[in-house]
Amino acid sequence: MLFCTQAHAQAHAVSLKWNASADAASNYNVYRLSGACPTSGTTGFTKITATAVSGTAYSDSGVAAGTYCYYVTSVLNGAESMPSNLALAVILPAAPTSLSIAGTN
C-alpha cells in the first residue's frame, strides 16, 4: 500500500528568484496571472505582494495545482519600473494515494 504523508499533503508553493536592479536601493513587487503567460503585455496580472519585497527572492505559498505566470518590477522612491521578463510555473496535481491490489481467483 502507498500512503500520503503529512509532508506530501501540504500546499504548493512557487519559489521566485531574480537579479537585483542596478539601483541598489530598490524593492520589488511581484505579480501573478493564473494561466499561461501571454505573448505580450501584462493585462490581467494581480500584485501578490502586500508590501514591496526587499530581497531578490519570493515564495508564493498556498497556490493550487495549475499554471501561473509571474513578473517582477523594481520600486524606488514610489516609482515602479517596467516589468521583468515573464516566468511560467506549472504545479502538477498531487498523485493518487492509498493504491491497493484486490486479489481475484
Q: Which of 61, 77, 71, 80 is nearest to 18 (CA)?
A: 71
pLDDT tens, residue by residue, 31-73: 999 999 999 999 999 999 999 999 999 999 989 989 999 999 9
Residue 87, strand partner residues: 70
Parallel, antiparallel, or unpaired: how do β-strands 27-34 and 46-47 relate?
A: antiparallel
Q: Which domain holds residue 51?
A: 12-91
- The 3-state DSSP class for residue 28 equals strand
CATH number for the domain spanning 16: value is 2.60.40.10
Mean residue pLDDT of the chain comes to 87
Residue 48 within a domain = yes
Domain total in the chain: 1
Residue 67 within a domain = yes
pLDDT tens, residue by residue, 11-24: 789 999 999 998 87
The half-sphere exposure of 81 on its side-chain side, counting CA atoms within 13 A, is: 19
Residue 49 within a domain = yes
Residue 78 within a domain = yes
